Structure 1
Amino acid sequence: MITVTGATGQLGRLVITGLLDSGVPAGEVTALVRDAARAGDLADRGVRVAVADYTDRASLEEALAGTDRLLLVSGSEVGQRVAQHTNVVEAAKAAGVGLLVYTSAPKADATTLVLAPEHAATEEVIRASGLPAVVLRNNWYWENYDAQIGQAAATGEVVGSAGQGRAWPASRADFAAAAVAVLTADDPQPAVHELGGDDPFTLADLAAEVGRQAGREVTHRDLSTDEHVAALRGAGLDEGTAGFVAALDGNIAAGELDAGQGGISALTGRPTRTLAEHVALVLGSS
């Protein structure tokens, strides 16, 4: 049995469908969710749906019964994730899970990335558990830039504070495919994978590609962190969110997402989505 947590989330759902598309029988897949009503489409395909919450250890142990391989998709509640993930790890150990796969952050144990501390702590919890584990340190999602792509096409400007810092994005579908490859491998070995797309990019690259496809000049305007926060506040973001977004750009400027080529394609055997392909998808749907 392969169990996927957060199975109705954006990444988890893609992993579930990827497992089915790869030939894993639906009866051998469990979608672990908080709200069964949101997993009706998965249940209709024959997937076992189990209801559990990261905060409820007993529900997790029950849901994980019979699980051979588990994908722990990191939670979204910043500040609560270490405790929640620890519950899942301990439940997995109690249930006799044979392989734990965890979605972490780039260079989690050696970075100033604002998202990393909870991931690094979770990685340590997993190591201490003694469970065989594969850590997937996911770089950036192309989808993180969807709003900026649309805005850039409309305004002729990409605004941020990432400077010439590079990231190695791929689509959520690409990251999901990497997880599927690990979960379905004949003999997966414990490992830490830095996962990213096949090519790096900067915000200047984003501006150039949007301009090319939109048929207009699009420039990259680089701001200081304070200027970026002010611009985000002016666009309607609250102070905390604006500071967080600007801090992420600062991390990119510092090279914290420049984790090196690939990782995904090495696992999946196919290229990842390019910047041009993603911009075309976003502009084509707007």
Structure 2
Amino acid sequence: MICVDNLQTGRLRNIAHLLGHPAFEYRQHDVIAPLEIAGPIDRIYNLACAASPPKYQRDPIHTFQTCVLGILNMLDLAERKGARILQASTSEVYGDPEISPQPEGYRGAVNTVGPRSCYDEGKRAAETVMHDFHEARGVDIRIARIFNTYGPRMDPGDGRVVSNFVTQALSGKPITIYGDGMQTRSLCFMKDLITGLIALMESQSAGPEPVNLGNPCEFHVNEIARIVREACASHSPIVHSKRSTDDPHQRCPDIGRAKAALSWEPTTSFAEGLIPTIAYFRSELGGVEPELGGAA
């Protein structure tokens, strides 16, 4: 296995337990530049790109380059090696959706000139390039539209709803909700997502069409804040701040295609997934490396 990361948002400590393994190689590299690898390659998982709004908005041009130049470089590599390639797309391709849950056939409502556009439109463009390489050059592709995912080894400063709420609750700081909190999110534990990604990659029947991967159990953000506060045994107050521009009101996947093609659906409830997630963040905030076993 060859792991490639520019460490813009990743951390080497996340793969420290793998660095000495004889079958694992790490390369620090930015996918906006071509990547040369000697020898055969069977599978390429293109997971590159900051997914946290504060982080991808920090350098929007580089974010768009990562999405578009990155997938072009990975597709070139896949074509040369005859490898199957999976693109980590996103529920953000649906923008602020007008229907819920969102099926793969829904074309979305995306603002092309907003603060989130570099990511939303970058991922939409990446899907287009994936489709074109498949149609024109026969590259074997898979596209996963990933919905909100959480779990151990998230950066405490990630900036997304679960990491924000857990770190604030554990630190005794106000739990900050942007907007009225009536917007919804569907939260998928990372082990369920990984199972789905592998199933999609190895499926012989899924084909090149996009597949939603996420947990269809939908929560209002207000409810998420209350659940996290209780799970952390915290007394942090819940406060509201101005809603972020283009923040989607609804986010819920229709996973009918994943069920039919992959026999996949999440098995971890939000309450269950919070237990190792909170333990991890508690260790991170205390400066102690947690015991994670096989978590990724």
Regarding TM over 0.5, the answer is: yes
Aligned residue pairs total 234
Matching of residue 260 in structure 1 with residue 254 in structure 2: yes
2 CA distance for matches of 1:192 and 1:184? Answer: 14
Q: For 1:98-120, what per-residue CA distance to the aligned partner results, in whole angstroms no more than 9, with x for missing partners?
A: x2111001162524272310011
Q: The residue matched to 2:25 in structure 1 has which SS?
A: strand
- After the TM superposition, which residues 1-286 of structure 1 pair with which residues of structure 2 at under 5 Å, given as runs? 5-6=4-5, 41-42=17-18, 44-49=20-25, 51=27, 53-57=30-34, 60=35, 62-63=36-37, 65-76=39-50, 77-81=62-66, 82-97=68-83, 99-106=84-91, 108=93, 110-112=108-110, 114=116, 115-130=119-134, 131-143=139-151, 144=160, 145-152=162-169, 154-155=172-173, 157-161=175-179, 163-185=181-203, 189-215=207-233, 220-225=238-243, 246-247=244-245, 250-253=246-249, 255=250, 257-260=251-254, 267=262, 269=264, 271-285=266-280, 286=282
- Cα 1:271–1:195 shift into 2, 3 Å: closer
Counterpart secondary structure, 1:167: strand
Q: Check conservation: 2:6, 2:30, Cα contact below 8 A.
A: no
- Cα distance, 1:121 vs structure 2: 0.6
Tell me by how many angstroms 1:168 deviates: 1.4
CA shift for structure 1 position 193 = 0.8
CA–CA distance in structure 2, aligned partners of residues 170 and 276 of structure 1 = 11
Aligned partners of 2:224, 2:271: CA distance in 1, in Å?
A: 9
- Taking structure 1 as reference, are residues 8 and 178 closer, same or farther at Cα in structure 2, changes over 3 Å only? farther
Structure 1: which amino acid aligns with 2:18? L
**Alpha-carbon deviations, 1:90-143, whole Å to 9, x = none?**
22212222x211100116252427231001111111111122211001111225
In 1, the alpha carbon distance for the partners of 2:16 and 2:175 equals: 41
Deviation at 1:251, TM superposition (A): 2.2
- Listed as ranges, the gaps of 5+ residues in structure 1 are 14-34, 226-245
**Offset of residue 269 of structure 1:** 4.4
Q: Assess if the C-alpha contact under 8 Å between 1:89 and 1:129 holds in 2.
A: yes
On the 8 A contact 1:167/1:252 being kept in 2, the answer is no
Alpha-carbon distance change, 221 to 40 in structure 1, aligned in 2, over 3 angstroms: closer
Q: Aligned AA for 2:78?
A: A
**1:222-257: CA deviations, max 9, x gaps?**
4333xxxxxxxxxxxxxxxxxxxx33xx4232x2x2
> Does 112-121 or 186-195 show the bigger shift?
186-195
Aligned-partner SS, 2:188: coil
**TM-score normalised by L of structure 2:** 0.64
Q: Please give the alpha-carbon distance, in whole angstroms, between the structure 1 residues aligned to 2:227 and 2:148.
A: 18
1:271 offset after TM fit, Å?
Answer: 3.3
Distance 1:46 1:212, change over 3 A: same
CA distance in 1, matches of 2:147, 2:25: 29
Cα offsets for 1:195-242 (capped at 9, x unmatched): 1114111211112213433456666544333xxxxxxxxxxxxxxxxx
- Equivalent position SS for 2:192: helix
Superposed displacement of residue 270, structure 1: 6.0
Conserved? CA contact 1:105–1:139, under 8 Å: yes
Cα separation, partners in 2 of 1:261 and 1:161, compared to 1, 3 Å = farther
Structure 2 runs not aligned, ≥5 long: 51-61, 94-106, 152-159, 283-296
- SS in structure 2 of the partner of residue 80 of structure 1: helix
The 2-side partners of 1:139 and 1:198 are apart by 9
Q: Counting helix residues as a fraction of each chain, which structure ranks higher?
A: 1
How much has 1:260 moved relative to structure 2? 3.4
Look up the SS of the partner of 1:251 in the other structure. coil
**What amino acid is the match of 2:186?**
W
